[in-house]
Every structure is written in structure tokens, then in C-alpha cells.
Chains A and B, each alone.
Chain A
Amino acid sequence: MQREVGTLPLAPALRARLAAAGFQTAQELLDTGPCGLSKEIGISREEALEALQVVRQECHGHAARTAGGSGTTRKCTALELLEEEQTQGFIITFCSALDNILGGGVQLTKITEICGAPGVGKTQLCMQLAVDVQIPECLGGVAGEAVFIDTEGSFMVDRVVDMAAACVQHCHLIAEAQPEEDHRKALETFSLENILSHIYYFRCRDYTELLAQVYLLPEFLSEHSKVRLVVIDGIAFPFRHDFEDLSLRTRLLNGLAQQLIIIANDHRAAVVLTNQMTTRIGQSQSTLVPALGESWGHAATVRLIFHWDNSQRLATLYKSPSQKESTIAYHITSHGFRDVQPPAVTPSTEGTELNPRKRPRTEEEKQ
């Protein structure tokens, strides 16, 4: 109630007039009432009423927040956070080595960034995740929908069809091995058409469309409350050309990162971004580092770097708050993103997807 007038979200002209008239705290405004206010600072009664309503809303919202109610700032103890995190879902990637180093898969409510050279498999992983997020809960998934924002145009529907078909087949095989009532019910809705209809695709041609889309995302997510994954494929591409003003670029990227964090937290969704690599020319050698600069590195919670090593694809966990840094190898098959098969496995066992190594979590989840 003792809030200063200058901090209220009113129009600047109105604020200037209030300051000139000598008002200092919000309480004074509320005490004066709309008629008095309109006479003192020379605005119409309707405008005065509107301003008072804004002030009242702000003060009440503020009071509710300090009482620990639901608001934009939440206070909770670490124990509550621990319980929340343990029930947190993960989006599996079908590559158990990658899931292991990530601590279970791509985590919800966190921003994961995938960096890599062109052609190493970033878009493949994104498409795989867009399919995997829809796996029903009884089979180890989060049963959500996916939003795919594409800035590079590398989204191939046929490839998603292949991956989705392989995923459906995999789930059917598991359900056959462990027949249960809810498995069968879930599989009825888990079909190719359903998977494809729940991937919402946006094609942004430049950074203005990307900014506009991210502004509109919270509304979209409230309408489609089952969305659990937001993929932005190619966040670097629209920002890397046509930008003379680097400080504007940093500011826009930071604003984007903050909005994505809010979206991830409020809607319990995982946000996955893909980034390009750029060459940093050092004293005697040049190294490949993620693009968009150092300040962008703070935006993502988890950072994966994909790179090549003599025709073997490797993934390195570069930055993570809870897991340690490690590197694993992965494969991209016609079914999608997979583990590297150990050489002892003969080709005939490739088809049996009942390999328990690949689905360690079904047992854990059911408990």
C-alpha cells in the first residue's frame, strides 16, 4: 500500500501528471477516489476510474503474492521441489545411452540446447522427441503433444512418418510382452494419424516471425494444455545474418530466453533448442564453439554438443546442473535416433525390440 506511484504500470503521461500533482504512494491515490483524482490532475472520470482499478489490482496482487499465494513468484521449500522433481517426467529419446547421461531423458520444465555441426543429427533428435513425447504414460512416456517451430525448413514429414511408425511398432511389441488392460486402451489411441495430428508445426522465416510466435505461445499453450514439448529448430539461423546491431541481437535473444523459461515453468513443458556451431579463431588454432555468443550460453539449462569422430557420431553433455560431463556414441537408423548396437549383436536380433536395455524405465515408472 505504500507503493510508490512511479512503479505502477500506468501510462507514462499519467504518471508524469500524478508526480507533478504531488502524489507519492498508491494509498493516496486510492483514498482520493476517482472524482477527486479527475479534478486534481485534469483527466476525465473514466480515465481516473481505469487508473484506480489498475492500482487496486496491482496492490491486491502484491498482497496476495507476499502471503505466499499463487502468483508470479512462488515460494516453496526445497523438499517440495525435491518431490516435484522426482515425479517429473522425462521425454525419452530411444537411445538409452543418451537417456542415461541426461538422467532419464529430456527433462520437463527445463531448456535443453543441442549444438552441432550441420548434418550431425540435431533435427533428427528433435523429430524423434516430437514423436516420443506422445508415448502413453503406462509405457513410460508423458503422453503430451508437441509444438515444432522450424526456422530452417529442415522438417521432413516423411521422416517423421518413418519414426512414428517405428515407435508405434515398438510400443505394440512391449504391450504384447506385458499384456495389461491400460496398455491396450492406450495403444488404441496411439496411432500414426494421432501422432501426426498432435505435432503442431510453425514455419518462421525470419526473427520477427519467431519473436511474434514466441509472444503468442503462452496463449496457444493454454488452449492446447496437453503440449509438453516445444522445439525451436534453428534458433541461430534467423539471428546470424542481417544483424548489424549486435547489442540488439543480444537483447532480443535474452528476452526470448526469458520468455521460454517462463513458458517451460508455467506449462510444465520441455523446451528444446538447436544451435549452430561457429569457429572461434584462437592464437594458434581454431575451435568449433556453439554460435550466438557467450551470453546465450547462460540461457539453456542443459547443453548437448553433437560432433563427429571419424564417422562415428558422438554426443557430449556439456552443461548440466545435475549430471556429470560425459560422451556417448549414437546412431541414426531408418527408425530414428538409436543406440549404437554393440558388435556382438547379430543382425537378426535387431528386429526384437524387447531388448530390456532400451526400455529400462517401464518397470520403474510402474512402481
Chain B
Amino acid sequence: MAAKKLRRTQLSQEMCERLSRYQITTCQDFLCLSLLELMKVTGQSYYEVQKLLCKVSQACAPKMQTAYEMKLRKSVNPSSAFLSTTLHPLDRVLHGGVPCGSLTEITSPPGCGKTQFCIMLSVLATLPVSMGGLDGAVIYIDTESAFSAERLIEIAANRFPTYFDSDEKLLHMTRSIHLYRELTCCSVLKRIMSLEEEIISKKVRLIIIDSVASVVRKEFDTKLQGNLAERSNFLTRGASVLKYLAEEFSIPV
């Protein structure tokens, strides 16, 4: 939205050309300037500039929705609001399971079972909706090389023996889990940015990143001065893209 070109807003053609001479081509550039600067750049009077500001703002402001509409939308399909973890006490505490449309973070000391939990969630997501799953593909971004396909099949076969009774079903499940091994921060960020198209094409219903901390701690030593800012920069940028993906596609991350 921020990178929306001014050409696509309601501004006139000559105004856009004039602004592009000053290197102002997107809504972001336009809104970052103060009123006086805008007057100088557009050559318009104060009131005209305020009207232009309104037009550009309308082009990139978010839509309004009342809380009531949001509730109605949620109640229309309640089953898609959560991914049940099949651990009933946990589901009770989480009010239904891992929520769709927002980020969930799992932290623990090493060896407690985070990766096992993630593997189990991937199996659950590929199950059909009637069995409590999301009936979709899974994107698994692995930074520690801890994902084991054998363990995946073991969990699937032992947990749901009646469903995975044929090799074919197991094959189908494993084919819908897409594993990406990324070992540096840059590649993780690039992968996250490229996820949008993959989600649509592969009908992904769950994104797992295992784990964020390991790759960040490897690369950014907090004792060095500039690294703290770079590290938080990387983390917040990744977080905002993931939040956008989670909300846009209503999937758990």
C-alpha cells in the first residue's frame, strides 16, 4: 500500500509528472513531506495542497470495518478459526487451538520438544477438515536442519493409524509438506518475502519457521554496537511480513 504509485491515485497526470521530477512517485514519498514542502513541490496554494493530501490519503488508507462485522465474519465459519492441537488441555487454554490469522510463538529450553510439536502440527494441517485439520499444504522453513521425514511418517502412522492405512495417503501427506532449508538471516528473509505466491499456488494452510532464534543468534553478536539495531530491523521486518501473510490468508504461522 505504501509503495502505491501516485499515478494510480486520483491525482491529475500533470501533477504526477511534476512530482516525479522531484523524485516523488509513491504515496509514501508524498505523505512524508510537510505541508510547506508540498506547497513548494506542487506549486499549489495551502488549501489545494490539503485537498491533494486528502486524495492521496484516501488512496492508501485502510478500509473501515466495525467490530460487529468482524464477529459476524468469524461466526460464519467457526471451524476455520483454529487449528486444534489434539492436546485437549492445551486447546482449552488456547480457546480452541492455534489461532488462524495470527502469529504464535513456541519457546522453550533445548530438548523440550518444539521441533516435535512442529512436526505434529504439520501432520495435523494436512488432515481433512472433518478430522480437525486444515486440508492444505504446509511450508516448513528449517534453519537447524532438525526436520526428519522418517519421524514425520512415524508420527502420522502411529497417531492416525486408521487414516494413514495406505502408502498412498502417506505419500499424499508428505507431498504437501514443503521443506525449505535456510541457513542465513538474509535467505530466511528472502524466503519469507517470496512466500505470498507460493501460498496461493500450493494452497498452503500453515507456515512453520523452526527456529528464528538460532539463525539470528548465529549471525548477530549483541556485544557489537551496530548489530543490535540491524538485528531488530531484520526481526521486525520479518515479523510484519509474516503478520501480513497470516492475516491476509487467515492461516496460522
A interface residue numbers (CB < 8 A to B): 9-14, 54, 130, 148, 152-154, 157-158, 160-161, 193, 195-209, 211-213, 215-216, 219-220, 237, 240-242, 248, 251-252, 255
Contacts and interface: CB of A to CB of B under 8 A. Distances in A.
B39 A196 contact: no
Interface in B17-76: 27-28, 31-32, 34, 39-40, 43-48, 53-54, 56-71, 74
B28 A208 contact: yes
Interface stretch (B115-123, B145-153, B203-211, B232-240): B232-240
A213 B64 CA distance: 10
Contacts of B39: 9, 11-12
Contacts of A160: 67
B244 interface: yes
A209 B64 contact: no
Contacts of B28: 208
A362 B207 CA distance: 50
Given A206-B1, A242-B237, A198 B66 contact: yes
Given A153-B243, A196-B71, A213 B57 contact: yes
25 contacts: A9-B46, A12-B40, A54-B47, A152-B243, A157-B74, A193-B68, A199-B67, A200-B65, A202-B61, A204-B62, A205-B62, A205-B240, A206-B240, A208-B2, A208-B60, A209-B61, A211-B31, A211-B32, A212-B31, A215-B31, A219-B54, A220-B64, A240-B232, A242-B233, A255-B34
B95 interface: yes
Contact of B32 (A197, A209, A242, A252): A252
A248 B58 CA distance: 22
B196 interface: no
A213 B47 contact: no
Given A11-B45, A215-B31, A237-B240, 5 more contacts: A11-B43, A11-B48, A193-B68, A208-B28, A212-B31
Contact of B62 (A13, A202, A207, A248): A202
Contacts of B45: 9-11, 14, 54
A153 B243 CA distance: 7
B91 interface: no
B80 interface: no
B232 A196 contact: no
Contacts of A196: 66-68, 71
B79 interface: no
B1 A205 contact: yes
Interface of B: prevailing SS: helix
Interface string B83-118: 000000000000100000010000000000000000
B56 A212 contact: yes
A63 to B, nearest CB: 18
Interface string B222-253: 00000000001100110010011011000000
Contacts of A130: 67
B53 A201 contact: no
A212 B61 contact: yes
Contacts of A216: 54, 57-58, 61
A215 B57 contact: yes
A161 B54 contact: no
Contact of B66 (A14, A199, A237): A199
Contacts of B64: 200-202, 220
A244 to B, nearest CB: 9
A121 to B, nearest CB: 17
A195 B64 CA distance: 16
Nearest to B102: A153
Contacts of A211: 31-32, 57
Nearest to B27: A208
Contacts of B1: 205-206, 208-209
A243 to B, nearest CB: 9
Nearest to B65: A201
Given A9-B46, A213-B61, A158 B95 contact: yes
Nearest to B234: A241
B70 to A, nearest CB: 5
Contacts of A202: 61-64
Nearest to A130: B67
Q: Give the one of A196, A207, A211 with max B CB within 10 A.
A: A211
A203 B248 CA distance: 12
Given A205-B240, A208-B31, A240-B236, A153 B247 contact: yes
| Residue of B59, B62, B74 with most partner-chain A CB within 10 A | B62
